[in-house]
Structure 1
Amino acid sequence: MLVAAAVCPCPPLLVPEVAAGAAPELDTARAACTDALGVLAAARPDLLVVVGPADTAGPETYPQGTPGSFHGFGVGLDVRLGADVRPGADVPPEAGVRPGSEVPHGADRGTPAGPALPYGLAVGAWLLGRTGWADAPVEGRGVGEHLTAERCAEEGRAVAARADRVALLVMGDASACRTLKAPGYLDERAAPFDAEIARALGAADTGALIGLDTGLARDLRVSGRAPWQVLAGAAAGNASLGGALLYEDAPYGVGYLVATWS
């Protein structure tokens, strides 16, 4: 059953090494993300699932130890999702590898076979490493913009059934069309769309999230639509969850939101 969730934005600029000190306006967002992960730790989950946008419709599974990098953004920074493990190996608590911790580029430390983390999940791994997550096993799930709302909700229900106490770290951005200089240029529909997302996340309104217009979300370049709908599906079995909106802003014309459900 889902017992807690943290919703965070996933721009690579959230990582200071990528921003190279040029994005101090994201310091408040980083602090809010840290607070949100604290809610996850306080819930004492048996399993943490990081859900984020992916290039394929998915869902794609990324086991604990999957690597990710920010090399595509000109930074030689590598991360791993959870403790570093060899395929099929047990992971003792004393393994000593901090979840999400940075590792030297090119180091061979038993990376599980399979694809690397998409950028949204790599940002999630970085957040976990930054906060020193060591409270539960971690795995990743990637969901793309072509996955239907119904399939997202189904995925969420399946994830919530994985353990008695499941927590989600949900990565995704709102619209990228809030200003003339935004990646998607200015679209007058973006601000009200983002406002409704903020309201729904702050109120833990699963119905509103499931009902998001997928076509409009695609037009507005919303990367978080599918992950948020996975969250809504996962929360369906726990009516006691309440939401709190910790951060809402649109630097660079992109909507960034931080929220918690607990």
Structure 2
Amino acid sequence: MISRVAVLPHPPLLVPELVGGGDRDADAVRAACLDVARELAAASPRWTVVGVGQAPATGVGTFRGYGVDVRVTLGDGDGAPDAFWPLPALIAGWLRERAGAESVDLRLVDPDLDPGSCAELGRALAGGSGALLVLGDGSHRHGERAVGKPDDRAGEFDERVAHALATVDTAALRALDPALAAELGAVGRAPWQVLAGAVDADGRAWQATRSTTLTPFGVAYHLAIWEPA
């Protein structure tokens, strides 16, 4: 059975070499994410990771496509590094190494996967063992620092996500509108709905022991830890 769940964003700024020194906002996001990842590794050294994208074909990834050749693996990996790993795979590997986890089993999905299919995948994961790490950002359209054009709907959308993660409201996660999420750039929508399907199928009562949302760069970064109650 799933021992613990963590929800994290996956911005490249988590990797210090990609940012440089002196950015306190990036440092704060990185420190918060590493705290959550280490708590997840303390529950289990084996992670199942849900994110969006295509599964990598090689055993070693690199952030070279983001500017620096920082190499990562998902466990036992060798060979030439691949600069085309999807971002969730790269971040999962980077977090694994720094948190002390042993292995990552990637379950990457299409960002447009419909809620029903997300729930079905979640049900399939519910019977697995180890810890579950769910990677995905909220809307990137918050305020003046927005990556995309600011959108007044972003605030309400991410408030709804934050409340659902803080209260383990799987129904609210399942109800997130894929079209609205896509318009707001919230790539975490499908992974969060996979999470909802997994916890619903698990059958146990769950509680959030940590939950916070950070938006220092116009993007909503949701962090949470869920445990069986």
TM-score by structure 2 length? 0.89
For 1:243 and 1:133, the matched residues in 2 are separated by 22
CA distance in 2, matches of 1:17, 1:167: 28
Match status 1:253 vs 2:218: yes
Q: How many angstroms does 1:51 deviate by?
A: 1.2
CA separation in 1, counterparts of 2:122 and 2:198?
4
Q: How does 1:81-96 map to 2 (within 5 A)?
A: 81-84=74-77
Q: 1:145 is matched with which residue: 107, 111, 117?
A: 111
SS of the residue corresponding to residue 252 of structure 1 reads: coil
Q: 1:76/1:190 Cα in 2 relative to 1: closer, same or farther (>3 Å)? A: same
Q: 1:207 aligns with which of 171, 191, 212?
A: 171
Cα–Cα, structure 1 residues 117 and 234, in superposed 2: closer, same or farther, change >3 Å?
A: farther
1:230 Cα offset (Å): 1.0
Given residue 197 of structure 2, which amino acid in structure 1 is its aligned partner?
G
For the 8 Å contact 1:8–1:171, the answer to whether it is kept is yes
1:116-195 matches, cutoff 5 A = 117-134=85-102, 137-161=103-127, 163=128, 165-195=129-159
- Does residue 35 of structure 1 match 2:35? yes
Match of residue 23 from structure 2: 23
Distance 1:73 1:61, change over 3 A: closer
> Quick check: 2:47–2:131 contact (8 Å CA) kept in 1?
yes
Secondary structure of 2:217 counterpart: helix
- Alpha carbons 1:6, 1:261 under 8 Å: kept: yes
Q: How far 1:197 moved relative to its partner? A: 0.5
Could you tell me which amino acid in structure 2 is paired with residue 70 of structure 1? Answer: F
Report which of the two has the higher share of helix.
2
Tell me how large the CA RMSD over aligned residues is: 2.3
Residue equivalent to 1:91: none
Whether the 8 Å contact between 2:48 and 2:130 is mirrored in structure 1 is yes
Output the amino acid matched with 1:126: W
Describe the superposition over 1:61-91 as per-residue Cα deviations: whole angstroms up to 9, x where unpaired. Answer: 559x73222111111111111232xxxxxxx
Q: Partners of 1:66 and 1:223 in 2: how far apart?
A: 25
5+ unaligned residues in a row in structure 2: which ranges?
Answer: none
Which amino acid is the alignment partner of residue 4 of structure 1? Answer: R
Query: Given the superposition, is the C-alpha separation of residues 51 and 23 from structure 1 closer, same or farther in structure 2, using an over 3 Å criterion?
Result: farther
Correspondence for 2:196: 232
- Asked whether the equivalents of residues 217 and 225 of structure 1 are also in contact (C-alpha less than 8 Å), the reply is yes
Counterpart-to-counterpart distance in 1, 2:83 and 2:126: 24
Secondary structure in structure 2 of the residue aligned to 1:151? helix
The DSSP-based 3-state class of the residue aligned with 2:72 is strand
Aligned to 1:49: 48
The gaps in structure 1 that reach 5 residues or longer are: 55-59, 85-108
How many angstroms apart in 1 are the aligned matches of 2:85 and 2:124? Answer: 21
**Quick one: distance in 2 between partners of 1:233 and 1:167?**
15
SS at 1:167's partner residue?
strand
Counterparts of 1:186 and 1:204, CA distance in 2: 28
